[in-house]
Every structure is written in C-alpha cells, then in structure tokens.
Structure 1
Amino acid sequence: MLDTKARHIVEPFIKQSANLFLKMGLTANQVTMIAFIIGVSSGLFIYFDQPIIALAVLWFSGFLDVVDGTMARQTKTSSFGTVLDVSFDRLVEISVILGLAFRYPDSMWVLLLLSVSIIYAMTVFLTVGAVSEKKGIKTFYYQPGLAERTEGFILFSLMIIFPQYLVAIALVFLAVEIFTSLQRLAQASKILK
C-alpha cells in the first residue's frame, strides 16, 4: 500500500540517486546485485545479534531496490533485470526469516507459516501480473495491495527490534499476507474476466 500511495514523496530523491549511479557508470542490474548482496547479509546480522546493522542493511538494500527500477526505466533495461529484481527480493526476505528462525528457534513454526503466506501472496501477485494485459510503469502489471514491500520491511523491522514479540508480530504479518492474497484474488477476478 505504501509503495503505491507514498512513492511520490520519495520519488525526487530516488531519481537523483538513480541519475547519480548512472553517471557513475553503474547499470540497473549492477545496482540490483549490490542491493541483493547487502540485503541478504541482514539475516546474518540478525543471527549474530546485531539488530541495528541488520536493519540498516535491510533498509539500504530496499532503497537500492527502488533505485534500480528507476534506473532500468530510464535506460530501457531488458526484462531479465525484472527477473533478477523480483527473485532477489524474495531471497532477501528469506534471509531475514532464516536469520530470525535460527536466532529464535522457538519461533520457527510461525516463521514457517509466514514463509508459506509470502510464497502464496507472491504467486498470486506474479501470476496476475503475467496474465494481465494491463501495464503500469513496471515491466508487468503491478497489482497494489495492503502488503507491499515497505509494509513487509516495517513488519520485519519490528520483529528484529522487538524479538520478545516476534510470534505476535509474525502472526500479524501472516494475517496481512493472507488478507493481501485474498484482496488480490478479488481484484484479479474483476480485471481478468
């Protein structure tokens, strides 16, 4: 929801950053790779009980993830960049979940359920994007929903900062993912008639 509704607030800074990286000679795919490497380190920092560093690298990778998309649209980068971007996003999320699961093994059950809900929500999201004739500014139809990447990062951040409430926050995250999946299925039934 925040990615769709609030992007215009940070858009000038994103464009400036994209232009800076392009002037430095970086490609969108290179920034995607940098974001991935930085992002997956968050799970290690969680596991080694370094929550502040974990948060910093998670959010910085998320910022780079937005910038790489702007760069790709400015330079008409190939669709392979989209594949890298979307798949690397999931690996960053998996890294956070694994870091939490191994740091707090008593919470593995809820993190497993959360993982399943994210997999299903992304399956709906990507399938609708693939079969829809609608196009947005991205290379596929981006179906908005309650849980987008920023909401996920906020909930992951709360789990990292407040591990004593990890199960409760993960259950809220699970409910948000389930709601978003149902919301996107309902939207899909209307746009894919």
Structure 2
Amino acid sequence: MLDATARRLIDPPLNRLGRALAARGATADAVTLTGLALGLVAAATVALGAPGWALIPLLASRLADGLDGAIARATRKTDFGGYLDIWSDFLFYGAIPFAFAVLDSANALPAAFLLLSFYVNGTSFLGYATMAEKRGLETSAQGSKSLYYSNGLLEGTETILFFVLLCLLPTWFAPLAWTFGTLCFFTATARVLAARAVFTD
C-alpha cells in the first residue's frame, strides 16, 4: 500500500548513490548478496537476544536492497539479478520471524502463523507476476522492476516497518505477529480476487 509513495521519495537519492557506486565498480548482484548477509546477521542478532541491536544490520540490509536495483538501472538489468533479488528478499522475510521463535519458544506458534501467511501471500504475489508476464502486462507503480509487482494492503514498506516494530517491542511479538499475519491473508485473498478478474477469459 505504501510502496508507490515510498518509491517516489527514496528512488531519486538511491539512483544517485547507485550511479556513484556503479562508477566505482560495484555490481548489483554483489550488493544484493551483501544485503542478504546483513539481513541474516540481523536475524542472528535477534536470535541471540539483542533485537534492538538487530535494527542496525536490518536497516542496512534494506538500504542495500534498494541500492542493488539502482546500480542495475545505472548499468545493466539482468533476469538473474531480478531472480536473485526476490530470492534474497524471501529468505530475509522468513529469517526474521524464525529468529524470534528461536529467541523465545513462546513465540513459536505466532511465528509459524506469520510464516504461513508470508508463504501464502508470497505465492499469490509470484503467481500473479507469472500470469502477468504471460499476458504481457506491465506496471511501474513500485518503480522499475524485473517482474510484475501487484500492489496490495501489505507490501515491502509495511513489512520493513513491521520488522522494525518487532525489534523495538520484542515482548509484543505474539500480538503483532497474529495481527500482521491476518492482514497478510487479507492481502493474499484480495490479490486472488484481483487475479480472477484479470486472468479469467
């Protein structure tokens, strides 16, 4: 829901920084993997009992996630780069709830529900992108992407804000996870209904 607005604000500075990094030899794939590594460090920091400190690598990870696309736009976008980016995102999104389950076994059930909702929502997103590609549909609402990005109630911006909230309020993990997971199911359901309207001949 917030991605399109956030993109209008962050893309100009990211593109400038991306061009500067590309001029110094940085590659999009290397930045993607750096962002993933930082995200996994954030997850490990949560699991080891310091969710507040996890904010530093978590936010650095998401900065790298924005910069890889900016570098690709400044050099050359590749299908593998887009694939690596979405794979890294999904690994990161799964690692954070898992880390909170490791942190406290009382978080296991809400973490499992949250991961289930991510799985269902992610499948609705990737399935929609596959069918959109097949029909030649395009969108730039979330910026220039390697695959079709269908909007929804919860998108990347909301998920990052949610992770930040979890790190700031770790004792509230359970109610936050139940709430966000439920909203993920609403997002997935809305996307399925949208797909039915668009893809039914």
Tell me whether 1:142 sits opposite 2:137 in the alignment.
no
State the SS of the aligned residue for 2:54.
Answer: helix
1:118 aligned residue: 118
State the SS of the aligned residue for 2:152.
Answer: coil
Shift of 1:147: 0.9
2:128 aligned residue: 128
Q: 2:172 aligns with which of 160, 165, 170?
A: 165
Structure 1, 105-114 or 90-99: larger mean CA deviation = 90-99
Give me the TM-score of the superposition, normalised by structure 1: 0.94
C-alpha distance in 1, partners of 2:59/2:188?
24
Give matches, 1:51-66, under 5 Å.
51-66=51-66
C-alpha distance in 1, partners of 2:32/2:158?
20
Runs of 4+ in 1 over 6 A off after TM superposition: none
Cα offsets for 1:41-83 (capped at 9, x unmatched): 1111111222233111111111211111122233232101111
Q: 2:185 aligns with which of 178, 183, 186?
A: 178
Shift of 1:35: 0.6
Shift of 1:25: 0.3
C-alpha distance in 1, partners of 2:74/2:123?
28
Shift of 1:38: 0.8
Aligned residues: 193
Amino acid at match of 1:134: L
Shift of 1:27: 0.9
Tell me whether 1:25 sits opposite 2:32 in the alignment.
no
Amino acid at match of 2:192: L
Q: Percent identity?
A: 27
Give me the TM-score of the superposition, normalised by structure 2: 0.91
1:92 aligned residue: 92
CA distance 1:176–1:45, change in 2 (3 Å)? same
Does structure 1 conserve the Cα–Cα contact (< 8 Å) formed by 2:110 and 2:174?
A: yes
Extract unaligned runs of 5+ from structure 1: none
Extract unaligned runs of 5+ from structure 2: none
Amino acid at match of 1:20: A
State the SS of the aligned residue for 2:53.
Answer: helix
2:194 aligned residue: 187
Does structure 2 conserve the Cα–Cα contact (< 8 Å) formed by 1:110 and 1:170?
A: yes
C-alpha distance in 2, partners of 1:71/1:127?
27
Amino acid at match of 1:188: A
C-alpha distance in 2, partners of 1:95/1:77?
27
- Give RMSD over aligned pairs: 1.3
